[in-house]
Amino acid sequence: MTSLLVGYAMKPLLVFENRYKDHKGGPHHPENPARLDACLAGLSRDNLIKEFDRIEPRRAGKDEIMLVHTPEHHSTVAATAGQEDSMLDEDTYVCAESFDTALFAVGGLLEIVDLCEPGKEERAFAFPRPPGHHATPASAMGFCLFNNIAIAARYAQKERGFERALIVDFDAHHGNGTQDIFYDDGTVGFFSTHQHPLYPGTGARGERGSGKGEGWNMNIPMIPHSSDVDYKRAYEDELAEFWEFVKPEIVLVSAGFDAHERDPLSQMKVTTAGYRWMAEFILARAAGMPCVFVLEGGYDPDALADCSNAVAKAIAQYR
């Protein structure tokens, strides 16, 4: 596919932290620290990592977690600190270090947002663990403890003066937590392409938001084996129209690479080139505003490395 990008001069930002490996479950759990090693392998090709300014994450505070989560949920996760390994649901593990790691995962995104302002064309790629888009206001689920990207969106509004935000989610699994958080909001648009049927079973086209949020939620359920061509059609037809409706001032991308043709947890057929095209499409549409890509899923090591490299190249070459 041909490049969609035009000139851009600023060096993009990167959050990549070894402490994110401290969140550990069983040796065979698909969401494991080796995922970060795969991402780093992709970023290390062709000295690509040197094209980014790396920034250090900080620990998010309780008040920042509670921008989208209930006090009870914060307390539930906090109570696991220093404790033996356990499960918060059938898929979501915690260890003694998980709570602290999750706070730094959120804090890495907040450090990026602190460098963003309305009308400033910032670009960034963040690699937090644990991932976040399944975490609802009141519960952890689907490998996710806190909803990293949702907290970042609300923080951008509260602390950095952004009025309207857009979250684009191309993970193979529907970001049900992000949808729940903003479903009746009317200031944060949520656009998701995802395999259907597949966990968690949400994300029907009819789920369009409610109240003030009516129309601010757009789901594009994709049948198994959907390809680059199908995603290109969804972006050019549906995302472009939704973008004009939301009129965002900041764009955040739930970058899940589990729709890749080699991923074991979905049946999608997106190629590495397809992921790069999606990143370029988003970057081109986001001209004149901040655009932050945030790791979610992706469970084949080689595909994860390839896609991290492809999206990072799209970001780095947008200059």
pLDDT tens per residue, range 144-196? 999 999 999 999 999 999 999 999 999 999 999 999 999 999 999 999 999 99
User: What's the CATH code of the domain at 283?
Assistant: 3.40.800.20
Find the domain containing 228 and state its range: 32-53+108-134+149-316
User: Contact 134/142 with Cβ under 8 angstroms?
Assistant: yes
8 within some domain: no
The candidate with the shortest Cα–Cα distance to 1, out of 273, 227, 226, 234, is 273
Position 6 scores a pLDDT of 41
List, for residues 24-41, the tens digit of each pLDDT value.
Answer: 987 799 999 999 999 999
97 within some domain: no
List the chain residues with pLDDT less than 50: 1-9
Position 84 scores a pLDDT of 94
**Structural domain count of the chain:** 1
Report the C-alpha gap between 46 and 52 in whole angstroms. 13
Position 26 scores a pLDDT of 79
309 within some domain: yes
Position 296 scores a pLDDT of 98
181 is written with which tokens? 């958080």
Question: How many Å is the maximal CA-CA distance in the chain?
Answer: 51
Model-wide pTM > 0.85 = yes
46 within some domain: yes
Position 318 scores a pLDDT of 78
Helices (H), 96-251: 98-113, 148-160, 176-182, 228-233, 240-246
Q: Which of 23, 73, 133, 134 is catalytic?
A: 134
134 an active-site residue? Answer: yes
- Which residue matches tokens 């996760």? 77
222 within some domain: yes
CA dihedral 62, 175, 276, 49 (to 10 degrees): 20
3 within some domain: no
List, for residues 81-99, the tens digit of each pLDDT value.
Answer: 999 999 999 999 999 999 9
93 within some domain: no
Report the C-alpha gap between 247 and 245 in whole angstroms. 6
177 within some domain: yes
